[in-house]
Chains A and B, each alone.
Chain A
């Protein structure tokens, strides 16, 4: 079986949708963050796959985008987890359904 770009895109789409599943169907704040990180990683995989199969591979554009995206995702995970800890200290819960003080 020759590896085409389609196979890598299908795997990255499946990973993205699993991350979307985790972010949408869970009630715990940390699970939602796990889903978001998975979606970012799937997009990185997409970029690297497109770089590898591109007709001009001496320009490492896809690799650069992936490196910067990893750095930004790590910063965002740190701030998101700091927010989860801070909310837990205040409200003693991590269930996002119970954080509804601004509702209606």
Chain B
């Protein structure tokens, strides 16, 4: 694994995430949110899970980020900015980060280097999805259907 690639992707992802969390204009924040997911997909490619990286690009950037842009369009007010910022959230976030870093550094078993693994093929993912994970697959299908119907009912205009 390339450590230069890791540093570049990490800087890109964290900078875009900070921009998405702190920018005042909604559109800018939504677009840097999409760049964050490009960075996370690059991490997945670096870690050898290419299929999940592409699924991430399709679903998060292609669907969720576009949905957010459409919702910004549909809920537009005269002033399109977010005027409130709560500073106690910053304190809580830094405290949680400190706690997580302490837990990571205290654990001995996470300072391992990457073992050489066989390439994870889409064929293997398909096999596992149809044999070991067939029940979760059907449940996710049911859940997606329910979410689709629910979202449609929520935004449908009432007639009469």
Report A-chain residues with C-beta under 8 Å of the C-beta of B88. Answer: 24-25
Question: How many residues of A are counted as interface, with CB atoms below 8 angstroms from the partner's CB atoms?
Answer: 73
Report A-chain residues with C-beta under 8 Å of the C-beta of B93. Answer: 17-18, 20-21, 24-25
Known contacts A64-B128, A77-B67, A35 near B56 by CB under 8 Å? no
Known contacts A11-B14, A75-B147, A27 near B86 by CB under 8 Å? yes
Say whether chain B's binding surface is mostly helix, strand, loop, or mixed. Answer: helix
Question: How many residues of B are counted as interface, with CB atoms below 8 angstroms from the partner's CB atoms?
Answer: 82
Contact call A31/B82, Cβ cutoff below 8 A: yes
Cα–Cα distance between A47 and B77 once the two chains are bound (Å): 39
Say whether chain A's binding surface is mostly helix, strand, loop, or mixed. Answer: helix
CB distance from B63 to the nearest CB of A (A): 6
Contact call B144/A18, Cβ cutoff below 8 A: no
Contact call A86/B18, Cβ cutoff below 8 A: no
Interface of A toward B, CB cutoff 8 Å:
1-11, 13-28, 30-31, 33-35, 37-38, 41, 44-45, 48-49, 51-53, 55, 57-58, 60, 62-64, 66-68, 70-79, 81-86, 88, 93-95, 97
A-B contact pairs, 19 of them (CB 8 A): A16-B96, A18-B20, A21-B21, A23-B89, A24-B89, A24-B92, A26-B86, A27-B85, A34-B20, A34-B33, A38-B21, A38-B33, A41-B36, A41-B37, A44-B40, A48-B43, A52-B49, A74-B59, A79-B150
